[in-house]
């Protein structure tokens, strides 16, 4: 399976690229924003495409040509304003979904936020609400397609070393999860067609990643 990782230069994307390098049945192509980011991924044996998410759909679709799956793990980051949140976390996600259609890529894995319900938007702080709203509408856009999608809702992200053990279900108690384990969850999701059409929350837990995803 050839996988385009959108937002590969983020920490989840880097872990995911490393995991895919060691996987017999997966092959990574990374979509990055700057040429100077390419050497890291070339050292991992990944093909690179330099495309800014603020470009048009056709540029993203060109990067997606020949792919079997797309993983969207891009984000504007905590230090940007609501304008970049809208352009990357919402519009960037929607353009990537439309690019998947244009390129004929059916499998789409979305890394969302822990809770993107309408209630979560209303209860979020004024600074966090634009991000939750962006993720809410990006998720809604994906659900309305005929793509073979999975939406992953990770808990609070940390840079701790992964444990390889999680708790994944439609609803789980709020907790943290290392970015490395989120990448492991993505791999397990791509391996398991039973995750198509599903979405789930995932946090650090006690069950091995593959078993937890298999039990969804």
Asked if residue 201 lies in contact with residue 114, where contact means CB atoms within 8 angstroms, the answer is yes
Identify the active-site residue in 114, 131, 137, 149: 131
Asked if residue 136 lies in contact with residue 119, where contact means CB atoms within 8 angstroms, the answer is no
Distance (Å, whole) CA 108 – CA 106: 6
131 is known as an active-site residue: yes
Q: Which runs of E-coded beta strand occur in 59-195?
A: 69-72, 107-111, 148-154, 156-158, 165-169, 176-178
Tell me if residue 138 falls in helix, strand or coil.
Answer: helix
Cite the active site residues.
131
């Amino acid at each position: 399976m050839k996988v385009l990782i959108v937002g590969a230069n983020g920490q989840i994307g880097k872990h995911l690229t490393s995991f895919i390098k060691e996987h017999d049945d997966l092959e990574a192509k990374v979509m990055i924003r700057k040429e100077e980011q390419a050497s890291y991924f070339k050292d991992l044996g990944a093909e690179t495409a330099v495309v800014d998410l603020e470009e048009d759909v056709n540029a993203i679709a060109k990067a997606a040509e020949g792919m079997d799956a797309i993983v969207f793990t891009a984000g504007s980051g905590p230090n940007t304003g609501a304008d970049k949140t809208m352009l990357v976390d919402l519009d960037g996600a929607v353009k990537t979904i439309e690019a998947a259609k244009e390129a004929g890529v059916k499998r789409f894995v979305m890394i969302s936020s822990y809770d993107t319900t309408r209630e979560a938007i209303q209860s979020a702080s004024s600074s966090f609400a634009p991000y939750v709203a962006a993720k809410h509408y990006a998720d809604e856009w994906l659900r309305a397609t005929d793509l073979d999608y999975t939406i992953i809702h990770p808990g609070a992200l940390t840079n701790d070393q992964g444990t390889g053990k999680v708790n994944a279900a439609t609803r789980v108690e709020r907790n943290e999860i290392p970015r490395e384990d989120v990448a492991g969850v993505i791999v397990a999701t791509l391996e398991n067609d039973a995750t198509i059409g599903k979405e789930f929350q995932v946090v650090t837990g006690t069950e091995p990643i593959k078993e937890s995803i298999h039990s969804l």
